A and B are shown apart, each in its own frame.
Chain A
Amino acid sequence: MLEEEAGFLAMSLMLDSCVERARPMLKGGMEMLGGTLESYGNITVSDSMYAINQLVFEDEALSMTDYIKCLDVDFDGHEELLEKVLDLPKFGNDIDEVDEFAERLNLHLCKLTRAQAKLVDLHHFLIVVINNSANITLGAHTGASADGRRDGQPVTNGHTPSTGRDKSGITALFNSILKLSCQYHAGAVHNIRFAKETLKKHYSEVVSLVDGYFSLGGAQCMITITSRDELEDAIANPQDYGHLLVRLGGYSARFVDLPKEIQQEVVARNAY
């Protein structure tokens, strides 16, 4: 299709095989031609699979039909179920039973896509899980999901946990990510957020931690530094910030559990 619109002749001139064969890139000039297919919201799906498996099959708490009915009405009138679903463990907390669903889905998508190479007339056809911000757009058009995501909310980005659901610390998050095979896809994004203070005070620990992640087989890691604005946002939308910890020696608390006044104080002091 692309070939009909543009022949990429200038680019073809730069490629040995095109010149040798005297053919444009997309008309048999290339030795090897590969392509990718992107998948979105993988973790939304795998967390949903876990939730369904747990509630419908393990606990027999409700039937699949009833579950679907609740999703169709965006959990409206089923707040109890919603709470239960949200309380279920999610990807990103180093819990094998949950992470296993993410890996199963990952392998399934990778292998299924690779197997279609012939069909789409390519030498390689691989999945990518990168998403940029399309997870927000696509989420806006996607109804409620079985992991407790409401109608229209973003689906997950890349191989990143559902926002605010990784509550067990950075090492647990890295361990979860490391369970996802990366040799069969053409790239996946793992967003990690560090608080600015953490980086300032514990630079060498953060560096050795990220180093460690890569030496244990980590393939990619997209680091964002949490700003003050984001902390302010955490006060307004605590549900998205389950991972934020208040870091003080010997002190046990999670940012989102703190009453508003204290959260404001933490933001003001920037001492999380």
Chain B
Amino acid sequence: MSADKAIVFDIQRGSMVDGPGVRTTVFFKGCPLRCAWCHNPEALTLEAQTCISKSGKTKTYGETLGFKELWSQIEKDRLFFEKTGGGLTLSGGEPMLQFEFVLELAKKAKKVGIHTALDTTGFGKKEQWQKILPQIDLVLLDYKHSDSELHRKWTGVSGASLDLNFEFILNSGVKVRLRCPIVPGVNNTNEHFEAIGKMARRTRNLELIEILPYHDMGKYKYAELGLDYKLGNSTVSAEDRLDWESSLQKYCGELPLKIPG
């Protein structure tokens, strides 16, 4: 991949769930992590994947797009971005894996005044973060596990390996929305909830703590792709959410917190 070509597996226009306002979310393919709960397993590899869906249709995940091609898609909703306080969200996968391209995109958006959010695990080289942060208006930073080794167990990558980048992002002054997937049996513990509060307080420019309750709606994609789904049938009940809410309130009381109902 380069600065003028990228592989993406979806473009969602009119999204209201990936940052403020109405947005176009570009899902970049490729991710260095392997979260057990990942709801986009089609995001993991950097190559296009073809499979047969349950209904017998051939499906291809991943399309290589030129810069101009993708940009023209994004530009189409510019006026709606302005009207709704929305913009562009770079998501994935891990968009930082296609850094050159993503950087160019963010630069271009900045130049024409399109608000840009980067949905990331914090992965990447420090120099890359130094280059990209000034181009980004909002970082949607995934905070998955407060224990470094358990982080490795559940995502394939140790928490410690992301620490420096987290530090850099949180201190940069760029607006951050902490996105916290809560997965029963993985990180629904008081220690983690407490750590979320701490992490949020360390953030110089915190916009929101956004809780993403686990759901297994990505499960069918594993079957399609011939991958193993490692999490069982853990579901999140309304009571679970209430429990989390009271615990999170305890640790994050004064902070802006959003738990979807």
Give A contacts to B, CB under 8 Å. 94, 168-172, 174-175, 198, 201-202, 205-206, 208-209, 211-212, 215-216, 245-253, 257-259, 262, 265-266, 271
- In the complex, the chain B residue whose C-beta lies closest to that of A211 is B83
Within 8 A of A (CB), among B1-57: 9-10, 12-18, 21-22, 24, 27, 39-40, 42-43, 53-54
The interface residues of chain A lying within 8 Å CB-to-CB of B22 are 170-171, 205, 208-209
Query: A250 and B217: CB pair below 8 A?
Result: no
Residue from A175, A251, A271 in contact with B77 in the complex, judged by beta carbons closer than 8 Å: A175
- Verify if B218 is at the interface (C-beta below 8 Å from A): yes
A67 to chain B, nearest CB (A): 25
- In the complex, the chain A residue whose C-beta lies closest to that of B84 is A208
The interface residues of chain B lying within 8 Å CB-to-CB of A259 are 54, 220
Query: B16 and A265: CB pair below 8 A?
Result: no
Residue from A169, A253, A258, A271 in contact with B14 in the complex, judged by beta carbons closer than 8 Å: A169
List 24 A-B pairs, Cβ < 8 Å.
A94-B76, A170-B14, A171-B22, A171-B80, A172-B13, A198-B16, A201-B261, A202-B16, A202-B17, A205-B21, A205-B84, A206-B16, A208-B21, A212-B80, A215-B83, A216-B79, A248-B217, A250-B119, A250-B212, A252-B12, A258-B220, A262-B217, A266-B217, A271-B215
Task: Give the number of A-B contacts (CB < 8 Å).
Answer: 107
The interface residues of chain B lying within 8 Å CB-to-CB of A253 are 217-218, 221
- Verify if B144 is at the interface (C-beta below 8 Å from A): no
Interface string of B47-73 (1 = CB under 8 A from A): 000000110000000000000000000
- In the complex, the chain A residue whose C-beta lies closest to that of B20 is A205
The interface residues of chain A lying within 8 Å CB-to-CB of B140 are 250
B114 to chain A, nearest CB (A): 13
Take A250-B91, A250-B119 as given contacts and tell me if A245 and B12 are in contact as well, using a CB distance cutoff of 8 Å.
yes
- In the complex, the chain B residue whose C-beta lies closest to that of A246 is B217
Query: B80 and A174: CB pair below 8 A?
Result: yes
- Verify if B85 is at the interface (C-beta below 8 Å from A): yes
- Verify if B137 is at the interface (C-beta below 8 Å from A): no
Residue from B21, B39, B85 in contact with A250 in the complex, judged by beta carbons closer than 8 Å: B39
- In the complex, the chain A residue whose C-beta lies closest to that of B10 is A252
A198 to B17, CA, bound (A): 10
Residue from A201, A252, A271 in contact with B27 in the complex, judged by beta carbons closer than 8 Å: A252
Query: A257 and B53: CB pair below 8 A?
Result: yes
The number of residues on chain B lying at the interface, defined by a beta carbon within 8 Å of a beta carbon of chain A, is 42
Interface string of B207-227 (1 = CB under 8 A from A): 000101001011111000000
Query: B84 and A251: CB pair below 8 A?
Result: no
- In the complex, the chain B residue whose C-beta lies closest to that of A95 is B76
Residue from B10, B17, B82, B217 in contact with A249 in the complex, judged by beta carbons closer than 8 Å: B17
Residue from A250, A257, A271 in contact with B40 in the complex, judged by beta carbons closer than 8 Å: A250
A202 to B119, CA, bound (A): 20
The interface residues of chain A lying within 8 Å CB-to-CB of B80 are 171, 174, 209, 212
The interface residues of chain A lying within 8 Å CB-to-CB of B14 are 169-172, 209
Query: B18 and A249: CB pair below 8 A?
Result: yes
The interface residues of chain A lying within 8 Å CB-to-CB of B12 are 169, 245, 252
Sorted nearest first, the 10 A-B pairs with minimum C-beta distance are A212-B83, A169-B14, A169-B13, A170-B14, A252-B10, A208-B84, A202-B16, A171-B77, A171-B14, A171-B80
Within 8 A of A (CB), among B184-228: 210, 212, 215, 217-221
Take A201-B260, A212-B79 as given contacts and tell me if A251 and B217 are in contact as well, using a CB distance cutoff of 8 Å.
yes
Query: A252 and B84: CB pair below 8 A?
Result: no
Within 8 A of A (CB), among B65-119: 76-77, 79-80, 82-86, 91, 119
Query: B179 and A250: CB pair below 8 A?
Result: yes
Query: B13 and A171: CB pair below 8 A?
Result: yes
A248 to B83, CA, bound (A): 22
Residue from A171, A205, A265 in contact with B217 in the complex, judged by beta carbons closer than 8 Å: A265
The interface residues of chain A lying within 8 Å CB-to-CB of B260 are 201, 271
